[in-house]
Amino acid sequence: MSTYGRIVGAFAASHAPGITGWPERAASDARAAVEQAFTEVRHRIEELEPDAVIAVSVEHFTNFHLGNLPAFAIATGDSYLGPSTPEMARFVNVEQHSYPGAAALGSHLYSFALGAEFDPALVEGGLEFDENFCVPLKHLDPGSKYPLVPVIVNGVNPPWPTPKRCYDFGRMIRGAVENQTEVKRVVVLATGGLSHWVGLPESGHINEEFDRDFMSRLESGDPERLTDYTGEEIDRAGNGAHEIRTWLVAAGAAGVGFDVLAYAPVPVWLTGTAVAAARL
């Protein structure tokens, strides 16, 4: 008898380019806290022995543009290039290489999403990574051994999908994993956020109050609290804070609260930087 797939772990982490691009410029205690949390998550993922990782992030106009900007997209390729250009590779200090794709799980997720009345864009191939996945995966999967299903959420250009829609998209992901028998053990990894301003005069500011409040909601796991944001409320933590939508997807997929393993406001990395693990 076939066993159904299940989400065995869910994690969330910032993907600030400075984490890998210029780690030495952060305060030593902040850098150590963040890197230790990444190491902790890497070990946890190794122990979970996932067959695939559903990786949820925004993308920063690396693939999509304002002639075609999906609210959600699911990639079904068997490999992904990252970082997308040599310049981006130098920027984030990640060697350009190919990441493996979990194509069959991606196709199932896309099909299941449509059946569940979500309407993501299909990206059958050609998706390239920027810091969204390259930065956290340098710490979490340095050998790029886990097959990925990249899921992209628009967090870079308003209007954005609502927080509730993002949380529900995560619930849908859990349903998709549990309604197939090919891929048994799946980890969900969300990357993005927290407060930061990208390309704006406020860049380098951190809204620590927003960050700590968001993490409190994440720890609670309460869907009502997690999704009780307006776009304007998120805006107060910067245009980059809209990336918390990816964490909401992971929260929906996990269905439980998270432990925050590290949080540090790091102005030189331009973000409130955190790493969290679902209590699964």
Partner 1 sequence: MYSIHRLLWDIRRHPDVAARYRSSPDEVLDAYGITGEFRTWMKDLDFKSMYEHGVNPYLMFFCAIQLEVDRAAYQAQIRGEKS
Residues that bind partner 1 (CB under 8 A): 60-62, 65-67, 84-85, 87-88, 91, 130, 156-157, 198-201, 203-204, 239
Residue 83 CB, nearest distance to partner 1 (Å)? 11
Q: How far is CA 150 from the centre of its chain?
A: 9
Yes or no: say if 260 and 276 are a contact pair by the CB < 8 Å rule: yes
Residue 12 CB, nearest distance to partner 1 (Å)? 21
Residues 6+ positions from 192 with CB-CB distance below 8 Å:
14, 15, 57, 58, 132, 155, 240, 243, 244, 245, 246, 247
Classified as helix, coil or strand, 42 is helix
Q: Give the other-Cβ count within 10 Å of 3's Cβ.
A: 7
Cα distances from 34 to residues 6, 39, 276, in angstroms, run: 28, 9, 10
Q: Which is nearer to partner 1, 64 or 146 (CB)?
A: 64
CA separation for the pair 9, 21 (Å, rounded): 27
Q: Which is nearer to partner 1, 143 or 201 (CB)?
A: 201
Residue 252 CB, nearest distance to partner 1 (Å)? 25
Residue 67 CB, nearest distance to partner 1 (Å)? 7
Classified as helix, coil or strand, 112 is helix
- If we measure between CA atoms, which residue out of 72, 58, 82, 59 comes closest to residue 110? 72
Q: How far is CA 40 from the centre of its chain?
A: 17
Residue 89 CB, nearest distance to partner 1 (Å)? 11
Q: Which is nearer to partner 1, 140 or 234 (CB)?
A: 234
Residue 93 CB, nearest distance to partner 1 (Å)? 13
